[in-house]
Chains A and B, each alone.
With several copies, the nearest count.
Chain A
Amino acid sequence: MIVHEHRLVIGVIGNDIHVVANKVLERGLRNAGYDVCNIGVNTFPEDFIDAAVEHDADAVIVSTINGEGEDWVHSLREELTTRGLKDAFLYIGGNLAIGDQPRERVEAKFCDMGFSRAYHRPESMDIFLTDIAQDLAQ
């Protein structure tokens, strides 16, 4: 097993208890050798920031399943910077919009909000493993 020595914070934001993707992500990232702090479901922006600071995280990965994610994440990038983590990667994945909206447009919107990458209903989650490995290797 390759140990990446990278510290990641993951969780599901908002009043959302749909945890399946989160559990899979946790297990997958651990298998890939990351040091994962999973703050679980039903979490708020502060929880992500606090955990990231506490763990000196290299990346923060936000999930949202019920489509209400957008309301919660506006200030995440700014807060990370304020709290001294301006180099941390910030990802978001899940159902990023309500209704059927084109993937590219949805993902671009989140990147504009300061996310390093965004994944709206991705067909594969393994892509994310490749992407994050690449980003962190820089």
Chain B
Amino acid sequence: MQIPSDIFIKQRETVRQSPLLAEVDAADGAAFLAQLPESRYAASAFQNRGEHPILQPRGGFALFDDQAQLTHELDVAGADFLPLTIDSHTRQNDYERAATLLEQCEERNENLLNGYPLLAHGALLTRSLFTDINKPVSLRHGTPDARVLVEAALDAGITEIEGGGICYCLPYSRSYPIDRALLNWQYIDRLCAYYSTDERRIHRESFGPLTATMVPPCMVVAIQVLELLLAAEQGVRSFSVSFSQTGSMAQDIATATALRETTQKWLDQLGYTNVDVRLVFHQWMGAFPVERIHAEALITQGAVTAALIAADKIVIKTRTEALGIPDSNSNADAVKVTKFALRLSQSLAGCTGLNTDEESAHIATAANTILENILQLRGIALWDRVASAVRTGIIDIPFAPHQENRGELWTVRDNDDAIRIADQGKVPLPESFLKREQQKLSNRQENVGLDTMLYDVMLMVRKSYL
């Protein structure tokens, strides 16, 4: 159920009391957003997008000037959406620490934060980052409680908000309670819907890569559908589901189909008719090749996959991913190589139907089983059912650091590098699905040593490639 207006208004009053939001009045924020040109709206950009997937880098620096320069350089390099990636302390609501470190950065002219501390800089200053920019800005973070952060982002004219109660909690936090995370994101969804008009919708995006490590596609699909449904419930009408390159191009293509179909099926089933759903593809998010030649080949191949699945947006990686926070040079190169590869592959956009139908049906069936099981749980609302699903292990994300995540689901790669479920843990899955997964693994050796286990995780960094 959508949070009723009166309750929402009250909740909001509390949130807006944060001194960090004091410099902009909520009404001013709304007015600022309303007067932005359409080109600054992510939702509109999706509706008007041309042949190529929209290209979006990541990036966040502590200092305003560094961030301004990065923004400028990415703009010039040809990024379609600009990123604002937030530092870890802000993500963990440790605003004070972020502010202190920012001061030290400014004094020493150094970069002591792994992202842009939006709340330390404030919405007003942040607006000026984008004064000359005619493109949408996307908020990238990883925050279980992003209520204040998102308020400030909207005040600053950011029109795309990444995150969700599941995807920004289980992979990003050890102990933030999952139920509270879901409620925080319910507020954010409600806020985004509140700010959306028919022409100007605030766009929400879920983070499908999750831990980016051996997550089986059926689990990704189920979680993406849940976060979409949670947002739709709050009135969000422009939403991106997403997933990342898994290492098997065929499985990626199948996942895209399954994701599109399953999304539509559940929107129809629950009667949401007015949601514009987009598909976002992330270039490989796992352990990245160190060697430039491999890193760039991986980036290129990710771009080809994005073209092949006709993704609406591609979120890119850089060749220095394995080495540390990318500088703007390698970020600009990443934009360049991805752009070129998308151009090379543009003819594929119409070519759906590679015979991965069996695989995509397989993924969809499993995702639907998970979803049906969750919707049948007792609970006062969807968010509550989702929270119990996490606790009971129906939702289980491999390699999630979170204490409420069961961590019993175990996956390995088959001969074609597709991710297969070796141990279902508590995840409800059809017999036929499990049988096919086992078949695919029939000639896989048991994992005993640590290195054989790492072999799958380290797919792109195996020594045999050097």
Chain A interface (Cβ within 8 Å of chain B)? 12, 15, 17-20, 22-25, 27-28, 31, 40-42, 98, 123-126, 128-129
Cβ-based interface call for B448 (8 A): yes
Q: Are B399 and A23 in contact (CB under 8 A)?
A: yes
Please tell me which one of the listed residues B92, B174, B399, B454 contacts residue A125 in the complex, with CB atoms under 8 A apart.
B454
4 closest Cβ pairs, A-B complex: A28-B450, A19-B401, A125-B450, A42-B174
Max chain B C-beta neighbours (<10 A), residue from A20, A31, A40, A124:
A20
Query: In the bound complex, how far is the Cα of B287 from the Cα of A82, in angstroms?
Result: 39
CA–CA, A25 and B451, complex, Å: 10
Contact B449–A42 (Cβ < 8 Å): no
Q: Do B450 and A129 touch (CB < 8 A)? A: yes
Within the assembled complex, what's the spacing in Å between the Cα atoms of A124 and B458?
12
A17 touches B450 (CB 8 A): no
Interface membership of chain B positions 167-199, coded 1 if the CB is closer than 8 angstroms to chain A and 0 otherwise = 000011111000000000000000000000000
| A31-B213 in contact (CB<8A) | no
Evaluate contact between B174 and A41: CB separation under 8 angstroms: yes
Chain A residues in 8 Å Cβ range of B211: 19-20
B287 touches which of A17, A20, A31, A125 (Cβ 8 Å): A20
- For B451, what are the chain A residues with a Cβ–Cβ distance below 8 Å? 124-126
Q: For residue A99, which residue of chain B has the nearest CB?
A: B324
Closest to B449 in A: A126
Q: Which of B139-180 contact A (CB under 8 A)?
A: 171-175
Q: Which residues of B contact A19 (CB under 8 A)?
A: 211, 399-401
Residues of B within 8 A of A40 (CB): 174, 401, 403
Contact A24 to B453, CB < 8 A, known contacts A17-B173, A40-B174, A41-B174: yes
A126 touches B450 (CB 8 A): yes
Contact A28 B453 (CB under 8 A): yes
Q: Please indicate the chain A residues that have their CB under 8 angstroms from the CB of B403 in the complex.
A: 40
Does B428 belong to the interface (CB within 8 Å)?
no
- Using Cβ atoms and an 8 Å threshold, which residues of chain A touch B407? 23
- Which residues from chain B contact A15 at a C-beta distance below 8 Å? 88-89, 92
Q: A111–B391 Cα gap in the complex (Å)?
A: 40
Q: Which residues of B contact A98 (CB under 8 A)?
A: 324
A-chain residues with CB within 8 Å of residue B174 when the two chains form the complex:
17, 40-42
Q: Does B337 contact A (CB under 8 A)?
A: no
Check B401 against A129 for contact (C-beta < 8 Å): no
How far in angstroms is the closest Cβ of chain B from A36? 13
Question: Is A17's CB under 8 angstroms from B449's CB?
Answer: no
Query: A20 and B457: CB pair below 8 A?
Result: yes
Contacts of B449 in A (CB 8 A): 28, 125-126, 129
Q: Are B213 and A123 within 8 A (Cβ)?
A: no
A25 to B454, CA, bound (A): 10
Chain B interface residue number, banded: 20 to 34
* Chain B residue nearest to A22 in the complex (CB): B401
- B387-403 interface with A by 8 A CB criterion: 398-401, 403
State in angstroms the CA–CA spacing of A129 and B454 once bound together: 14
Question: Are B453 and A17 in touch, CB under 8 angstroms?
Answer: no
Question: B199 to chain A: closest CB distance in Å?
Answer: 39
Minimal Cβ-Cβ distance residue in B for A100: B323
Interface check B378, CB cutoff 8 A = no
Q: Cα distance A125–B454 when bound, in Å?
A: 9
A129 vs B450: C-alpha distance in the bound complex, in angstroms?
Answer: 8
Give me 13 A-to-B residue pairs in the complex whose CB atoms sit less than 8 angstroms apart, sorted by A's number. A15-B88, A17-B173, A17-B174, A19-B211, A19-B399, A20-B211, A24-B450, A24-B457, A27-B453, A28-B450, A40-B174, A125-B449, A128-B450
Within 8 A of A (CB), among B333-379: none
B-chain residues with CB within 8 Å of residue A123 when the two chains form the complex = 463
A98–B324 Cα distance when bound, in Å, is 9
Least distance between A40 CB and chain B CB atoms (Å) = 6
Contacts of A12 in B (CB 8 A): 401
Cβ B454 vs Cβ A24 within 8 A = yes
* Known interface pairs A20-B457, A31-B448, A42-B401; 17 further A-B residue pairs with C-beta atoms within 8 A, sorted by A's residue number: A12-B401, A17-B171, A17-B173, A19-B211, A19-B401, A20-B213, A22-B401, A23-B399, A24-B453, A24-B454, A24-B457, A40-B401, A40-B403, A42-B173, A98-B324, A123-B463, A126-B451
B222-244 residues at the A interface, CB under 8 angstroms? none
Q: Which residues of A contact B457 (CB under 8 A)?
A: 20, 24
Q: Find the residue from A23, A42, A123 having the highest chain B CB count within 10 A.
A: A23
Residues in B whose Cβ lies below 8 Å from that of A27: 453
- Which one of B171, B401, B448 has the highest number of Cβ atoms from chain A below 10 Å of its Cβ? B401
- Picked from B88, B213, B401, the residue with its CB within 8 Å of the CB of A41 is B401
Chain B 112-123, CB-CB to A under 8 Å as 1, else 0, gives 000000000000
Chain B residue nearest in CB terms to A31: B448
For B173, the chain A residues whose CB sits under 8 A away are 17, 42
A contact residues around B171 at 8 Å (CB): 17
| Chain A residues, Cβ within 8 Å of B450 | 24-25, 28, 125-126, 128-129
A120 vs chain B, min Cβ distance (A):
15
CA distance A20 to B459 in the complex (A): 13
| Bound-complex Cα distance A104 to B92 (A) | 35
- Return B92 CB to nearest CB of chain A, in Å: 7
B173, B448, B450, B463: most-surrounded residue (chain A CB, <10 A): B450
Alpha-carbon distance A42/B142, docked complex (angstroms): 15
List B contacts of A41 (CB < 8 A). 174, 401
> Which residue on A lies nearest to B287, using beta carbons?
A20
Contacts of A25 in B (CB 8 A): 450
Could you say which residues of chain A place their CB within 8 Å of the CB of B175? 42
